Structure 1
Amino acid sequence: MQPESTLEGQADHLVVQYLTDAGMQILARRWRCGCGEISLIARDAHITAFVHVRTRTRKSFQVPANAITFRKQQRLRRTALLWLARQPEPWHRIRFDLASVVLAPDQEPEIEYFQSVF
């Protein structure tokens, strides 16, 4: 897990709060293995959500989902499969979500959350 003093750590903390307020259970933070890292893993009812947290310091006109290139999608899928293989309980449904966090100086943080981005 990133220390909360870093931008990534601040963004992760905000997204964890956002997800728990929405009724999701956080299963893992910054889970790493040899092939990659997943920012957050959460349970939403009977769905396991693998959440990529994207942090920016200013608002842009880019579509946040474009931050996940095809190579990044492949790496996230491989990493998710390794995490799932290590779990004792069976899993049935998964999805890949994106949390876009803007941490601009002197402004309130903005969170946009997208489910099933790929």
Structure 2
Amino acid sequence: MKAKDVLGQTGEWAAADFLEDRGIRVIDSNWRCPNGEIDLVALDGDELVIVEVKTRRSRRYGDPLEALTRAKLLRLRTLAVLWARSHDQVYGTIRIDAVGIIMDGDNPPSIDHLKGVA
């Protein structure tokens, strides 16, 4: 596995722990279909939450959340519906969140959670 893939996976685990600690229950991860991938799927009460996780080693090239594009956020909306359909689930509300993580290896991860980014 490439170093960037290890970093990404470690970031997703850190994001899942972070969300769980705040009462958001992670129910799926790394879900893939022909249209793309969802990093984390969670429930916040009865609200379905699709979480995009961006992990970096530093802010040298900008904040991890700056890597989110409008196109990616629109694709996540589509993927949320596809995930729900593939799991025969109906949700009144679907929310897209983003988690940005800096893991420099020397300090505890710095985690930013943005709710309802799309």
So what's the TM-score if we normalise by structure 1? 0.87
Per the alignment, residue 115 of structure 2 pairs with: 115
Per the alignment, residue 72 of structure 1 pairs with: 72
Per the alignment, residue 101 of structure 1 pairs with: 101
| CA distance in 2 between partners of 1:49 and 1:42 (Å) | 5
Aligned partner letter, 2:117 = V
Q: Which runs of 5+ in 1 are unaligned?
A: none
Q: How does 1:16-31 map to 2 (within 5 A)?
A: 16-31=16-31
Q: 1:8 to 1:61 in 2, by over 3 A?
A: closer
Cα distance, 1:65 vs. partner?
A: 4.0
Runs of 4+ in 1 over 6 A off after TM superposition: none
Post-superposition Cα deviations, 1:34-81, rounded to whole Å, max 9, x if no partner, equal: 010010000000111100000111035845543221211222122111
| CA distance in 1 between partners of 2:29 and 2:69 (Å) | 22
Per the alignment, residue 88 of structure 1 pairs with: 88
Corresponding residue SS for 1:18: helix
Percent identity, please: 30
Per the alignment, residue 59 of structure 1 pairs with: 59
Higher mean C-alpha deviation, range 66-75 or range 101-110: 66-75
Q: Which runs of 5+ in 2 are unaligned?
A: none
Corresponding residue SS for 2:27: strand
Per the alignment, residue 32 of structure 1 pairs with: 32
Count of matched residue positions in the alignment of Structure 1 and Structure 2: 114
Conserved? CA contact 1:65–1:117, under 8 Å: no
Conserved? CA contact 1:102–1:109, under 8 Å: yes
Cα distance, 1:89 vs. partner?
A: 3.1
Higher mean C-alpha deviation, range 33-42 or range 84-93: 84-93
So what's the TM-score if we normalise by structure 2? 0.87
Kindly indicate which of the two structures has a greater share of residues assigned to helix: 2
